[in-house]
Every structure is written in structure tokens, then in C-alpha cells.
Amino acid sequence: MATPLTPVITEFWDRPDLYTLDGYRAVGGYTALDKALKMDPDAIIGQVKDSGLRGRGGAGFPTGMKWGFVPQGDGKPHYLVVNADESEPGACKDIPIMMANPHALVEGVIIASYAIRANHAFIYIRGEVPNAIRKVAFAVRQAKEAGLIGKNILGSGFDLDVVVHSGAGAYICGEETALLDSLEGYRGQPRLKPPFPAVAGLYASPTVINNVETIANVPYIVDRGVEWFRQFGTEKSPGFKVFAVSGHVKRPGIYEAPLGITMRELLDYAGGMRDGSNVKFWIPGGSSVPMLTPEHLDLPLTYEAMAEAGTMLGTGTPMLFDQTTSVVKAVTRWLEFYKHESCGKCTPCREGTYWITGVLEKFEHGHGTEGEMETLVNLCGQIAGRSFCALGDAAATPYPAALKYFRDEFEAATHTSADEQFDPVASYVFAGAGAR
């Protein structure tokens, strides 16, 4: 039997007014906040720990544990920062959440701030999505007007101010410490750790940085309890996930399902591949995770199963590509992205992405060499685990996996260009007409 979808965050997305305070309240919004404010903050941290919620931004770090790292009673201000800088190729789930259900994020922000004793929270949203920024800013304003943000929230004695901040167009600012630098007004580059943000983050004070979806989960956990949450997913990957399926599928979109659902099941919900096409390769969550092939379609989409298959769940936003796609071209596009977005701070990422991209572009035009196929593997190895932050690691992942599964295409690219191997028009998702 197919795993059923479990819409929670997405349950009422068909309500046109869900983005408003009234609409959100009509479906039970902000009841979790009432509960939370009557609880001991440590009990909320305990509850999130017990739920096993893992960060939905890609790394999957246990959220409750992160909150627990914040030293309490240290006399310093604490900050909550929401990482809404979603900009990875293929990742598109935080922006829809902010567009459709911004109050779930806002409610989660208030509860999380209360739990870690933060009186200031910041939502750092990718600058290229003004529509999402407007929606979240609107929700925050409504929450302020309703007394849900401000002084003495709902008579609890808890004060909170929430700032919606727009990024300025750098992927690196999704790296949490670069995000902090950017938020402080500096050029966004990752910071040396230690100290970790939980000890010295924003303005050198204890800071928790969580992904949008992670925070949006919090109200539901507080409202419905640990047991309810743990009925979804697996022991190591409890709960549900907002999966954003894209690529050559019939119905690309958001599918909220328990962790552990398989790609094949999700693909069925997405209507299968477009007519006459088959899965050639797919990535489970953003371009930063190594690609998989049809033989992996029946693996459960959990942190642990994906790791075992040599990839990562990442942001949980699978992208599927059919047989019209040139792997060489796809990998080249991804590396061009990393080259463009490398912040320049560390040598391996700055120089490595520059070099690899140059070589891949030769392959794309049919001018690669056998030797360079191995050089590229070597270069990726010189970046992975040697760069300053995860951006370099991410840049080193697409090629080795692509070579592992599609060596023949790279061999062909030593004499035939990608466009000759694969008609580019045929791979367009919006057409087919005009293809050779």
C-alpha cells in the first residue's frame, strides 16, 4: 500500500486567506502559542528534543539539541535567526511555505524564541523573492497588531520583536555564519568556528539559526505532541516533510508526506514522468547532494537511507531528469552555479570551482579528454573536506556521482558536444515541439 500523504503545514493551502491572521486562526492557528506560553521554556526544548525533529535546511541536525546548546542564565541577549535564504538549484519548499502559510512560520518563531529566551528574532529571506518577503512581513505586522509579537505577549510577560530582513543575492548567505555576517551588515562570508553560533553568533551573542520548515514544524509539535509527531517517519527521521518535486514529472509541486516515503511513491503522486519518458537520474534534495538513478527509486527518503546510498536527503526537494537530459550539461550548469556563488574566502572552493567549471565546459562542447575525467575526480577530492564551509563540499559532489553512473556520457563528450548527444529542445519541460 502506498504511503499516504500527510498534509500538516500544507493542510489548508487551498484556503485563499490562509496567509492572513484570520484565515490561519480559522484553521486552529496560534493555539500552540497559547499552550507554549503557559509551559516552562525548558519543557518546550525538551518536547522538541523528544520529537526528534531534525533540521530541514539540509544538514538534518537535531533541532532540540541545537536549542539546548544555548547557555541559559548567561546574562547575554539571545537571538533566533530563521534561515529563509533558500537559493539552491532544485530547492523550492521554504518559499512556498512563506507564501502560503507564513503564520505557521511566525507562530513557530514566537514559540522557539520563547523556548531559547530570545527577545529578538530575525527572518533572513532571500532577496530575490520579494513576494515571499511581503507575505512574511505582512504576517509579522498582523501578529504585532494582534499582540502576538511585542511586549508581554498574551499576558505571559514574554517580550519579542521580529525583524524581516532581505538578503542581497548571495547563495553563501544561506551558510549560517555568513548569514550572520550579512545580517550584521558585513559582506557575507562564513565565520571561523569555534565559537559556534549557539555560544557567540549574532552580535557575539548566543544564537539559534533554524530553517523555515523546521520552525514551521514547531507549532504542530507543541500543539499535537511528541507521540503524534513520531507516528510519522522513522526512528532516526521522525515526522513529515514538505517535499517539493520538480523536473520532468507531470505534476511538479509540493507533496507533504512522512519521511520514509519512497521516491517512486512521490513520483506517483506527481503523476509520474512526463509521457514517454523514464527517470534517468535524480537528486533527493538540491544540487548539493550526489545524484541517484532509477535503481534507487524504492529507497525510503530518510536521512539515514540516503546517507547509506551515498547521497543526502538535503532539503528534501527531489529533482527528476529523464532520458533527454545530458548529464554533462546538468553537472556543468550546477558547477557554474557554485563557481558564481563561491564567496572567495578559501582557496579550494574559490579556485577549485573556477577550474572544474572550465574543464566541464570543455566536456560540454565535446573537447574533454580521458585524462581530464580523472583530473576532475582528483580536483573534487581536493575540495571536499578541505574547504572552509559546506559550499565547497557541495560543489565537489555532482561530478563524481555523475561519472560513477554515466561514465559513457563523459567519454562521448571527449568528441561529441552535449547538444549533439542530446537535443536540448527535447529536454525542455514546457515543450517537446521543435525537438529533433
Kindly list the residues in this chain that would bind other proteins in the complex (CB under 8 A): 170, 172, 187, 192, 339-348, 350-355, 358-359, 362, 375, 381-383, 385-388
Angle 93-356-352 from CA coordinates, rounded to 5°: 85
| 376 touches 403 (CB < 8 A) | yes
Distance separating alpha carbons of residues 85 and 92, to the nearest angstrom: 11
As a dihedral over the C-alpha atoms of residue 153, residue 155, residue 158, residue 162, rounded to 10 degrees, the angle is 10
Distance from the first to the final alpha carbon of the chain: 40
- Minimum CB distance to other proteins, residue 353 (Å): 7
Task: CB nearer to other proteins: give 238 or 398.
Answer: 398
CB of 350 to other proteins, least distance (A): 6
Tell me whether residue 3 or residue 375 sits nearer to other proteins (CB atom).
375
Q: Which lies closer to other proteins via its Cβ, residue 50 or residue 361?
A: 361
Residue among 71 and 358 whose Cβ is closer to other proteins: 358
Give me the least distance between CB of 348 and other proteins, in Å please.
Answer: 6
Q: In angstroms, what is the minimal distance from the CB of 359 to other proteins?
A: 7
Instruction: Kindly state the smallest distance separating residue 68's Cβ from other proteins, in Å.
Output: 23
Query: In a 10 Å sphere around its CB, with 0-12 CB exposed, 13-18 middle and 19+ buried, how is residue 334 labelled?
Result: buried
**Nearer to other proteins by C-beta: 73 or 378?**
378
Beta carbon nearer to other proteins, 230 or 386: 386
Could you tell me the three cell numbers for 422? 542530446
Phi then psi dihedrals of residue 135, to 5 deg? -65, -45
Least CB distance to other proteins at residue 52 (A): 24
- Please tell me the number of Cα atoms within 13 Å of 405 on its side-chain side: 20
Residue 367 in contact with residue 332, Cβ under 8 Å? no
